Amino acid sequence: MADIVIINPRFDISFWGLEHCMKLFGKRANLPVACLALLAALVPDHHDVTVIDENVEDIDFDRLGRADLVCLTGMSIQGGRLIEILEEVRSRGVLVVVGGPMATVEPEVLEGLADVIFVGEADETWPRFLREWEQGAHQGRYEQAERTDMARLPLPRVDLLKADRYMFGSLQISRGCPFTCEFCDIIVTFGRKPRLKASEQVLAELEAFERAGLKIVFVVDDNLIGNKRAIKSVLRDIVKWQQERAYPLTLFTEASLDLAEDEELMQLMGLANFQSVFIGIETPNEDSLRETKKLQNVRPNAGTLLERVRRVQQHGLDVWCGMIVGFDHDDPSIFEVMPKFLAEARISAALIGMLHAIPTTPLYDRLKQAGRLHDEEVSEIYGTNVDPLGMSPQQLRDGFIRVMQACYEADAYFQRLDAQFIDERGNALRSDLCRAEHGSEVAVEKIRGARIDKKQLPEIVASRPTVHQLQNGQSNAFVPDLGGLGIVGAGKPAADV
């Protein structure tokens, strides 16, 4: 029996880390990385395994010095701290191994710092290493030959997480994305053929998070809808699971913009209690979208970017988005255009960044060949390793700062928030109320999940169109009867249609 410790290094303060507000909620971090509990589940039962997330607890290096094996995982943005931990653990004479996104895209940076490096997915190579290590015959590098069969993965060890210290849980349903965005490393790491877990696996994980006391779960798939047909089947089972338990969990996830082109998929996500969806919009500049091969965002027959965003919002899904400045087709005017686009799109939460070339991506290869990659020292000065084409590096850095200041100035932020949740919320709920009476089960479920205080309903209902307005074509809505929904005291209009 061996003492095995699996560590996720702390992140630096970031936009999505929400570090400055965690204490308000009595938490230490927003969510655990999904691989921690999975790696623990892949360790054979005859070993003792401990999970340490430095984002919710300090590392006791003396304790690590007594371990038989220490495993680290981490992204490139955790690289500095990951290397510090590697060096400290190795100095204590403990066998240390490393894998994850950074080891996959920048393995050369970690050479000589770890005894073993895992490149790519490690669902098969991690257990293989453990078997070979027990026999005293392990290798120094493992790279999985085939993509992981997601349907064969074990139930992650959620029980080993300090769940009470997180705002959300994290669950992965699928890996891979069918698209070819030039800057993205997901298709390099996970491939372009999406692979999904079975519904039984997904529901078991939801139950594990419910038992752990978490109420919100982030489905961390880089594109949940990469295989639309397959995910619809899983979503139907999630809907049934949620309904049978009176909706114990709120979900949010990431998806591509073609979500707006599938009515059934948007309805299923709403019924499954997905509250928000992060979409990679990237830029309102269509030339830049074509440049970076984000072709799913420039389909003429699907509508404009704004039309598709609003289509998703109208299904009760709050849209968050990723935006990028510094594409080759960007000039300084993008710094004025982007805040206006976000305001028109009513997107309150936008992750805005400068274009960055991740090693192994097509973008990195193209810019390296063109001699347009900054070295580490220059990258530190300008905040990105990309030498932009349509402006100077200083213009890009300063323009990015202006965009962030413009978008997150208090009035600008709350105007976007109000436009989505106040100006449109009443209209959307009234529409659902109207459709509910006329047989729309989707509308009924959306109302039940709307979390509207019943005291608000008389005011909402009172603002519905009158019979006179309907008869004179002043509204295309129907007047509903709320009795079947169990809504008390809402009243009815003077007459029914």
Q: How does pLDDT run across 219-261, given as a tens digit for each residue?
A: 999 999 999 999 999 999 999 999 999 999 999 999 999 999 9
pLDDT of amino acid 16: 80
Q: Which residues pair with 353 in a beta bridge?
A: 324
Asked if residue 440 has pLDDT above 80, the reply is: no
CATH number for 168-369 (one of 3.40.50.1370, 3.40.50.720, 3.20.20.70, 3.40.630.10): it is 3.20.20.70
For tokens 């995982």, the residue is: 73
Asked if residue 439 has pLDDT above 80, the reply is: no
The percentage of residues in the chain with a pLDDT greater than 70, rounded to a whole number, is: 85
Asked if residue 426 has pLDDT above 80, the reply is: no
* Pairwise CA distance, residues 253 & 137, whole Å: 41
Position 423 confidence tier, pLDDT thresholds 50, 70, 90: confident
Position 472 confidence tier, pLDDT thresholds 50, 70, 90: very low
pTM above the 0.75 mark?
A: yes
pLDDT of amino acid 14: 87
pLDDT of amino acid 8: 98
Q: Smallest Cα–Cα separation from 396: which of 322, 323, 336, 325?
A: 325
Q: Which fold has domain 3-143?
A: Rossmann fold (3.40.50)
Phi and psi angles of residue 251, each rounded to the nearest 5 degrees, phi first = -120, 155
pLDDT of amino acid 427: 54
Asked if residue 332 has pLDDT above 50, the reply is: yes
pLDDT of amino acid 481: 29
Q: Which is higher by pLDDT, 462 or 188? A: 188
pLDDT of amino acid 97: 98
Query: What is the arithmetic mean of pLDDT over 185-207?
Result: 96
Q: Smallest Cα–Cα separation from 34: which of 58, 6, 60, 15?
A: 6
Query: What is the arithmetic mean of pLDDT over 82-111?
Result: 97
- Residue 468 to residues 313, 457, 477: CA-CA distances in angstroms? 30, 22, 12
Asked if residue 477 has pLDDT above 90, the reply is: no
Task: Please check whether the two domains, 3-143 and 168-369, share a CATH topology.
Answer: no
Query: What is the arithmetic mean of pLDDT over 411-415?
Result: 96
Position 156 confidence tier, pLDDT thresholds 50, 70, 90: very high
Asked if residue 476 has pLDDT above 50, the reply is: no
Lowest mean pLDDT among 165-169, 269-273, 357-361, 444-448: 444-448
For tokens 């992140």, the residue is: 11
Residue ranges covered by each domain of the chain: 3-143, 168-369, 424-485
Lowest mean pLDDT among 28-37, 180-189, 317-326, 445-454: 445-454
Neighbouring residues of 41: CB distance < 8 A, sequence distance ≥ 6: 153, 154, 155, 156, 157
Position 462 confidence tier, pLDDT thresholds 50, 70, 90: very low
pLDDT of amino acid 463: 45
The percentage of residues in the chain with a pLDDT greater than 90, rounded to a whole number, is: 82
Q: Tell me the residue type at 271.
A: L
Asked if residue 430 has pLDDT above 70, the reply is: no
User: Count of residues for the chain?
Assistant: 497
Lowest mean pLDDT among 201-205, 311-315, 361-365, 453-457: 453-457
* Pairwise CA distance, residues 478 & 469, whole Å: 11
pLDDT of amino acid 497: 26
CA dihedral for 232, 238, 243, 248, sign (positive or negative): negative
186: exposed, middle or buried (Cβ count in 10 Å: 0-12, 13-18, 19+):
buried
- Mean pLDDT, the chain, as a whole number? 88
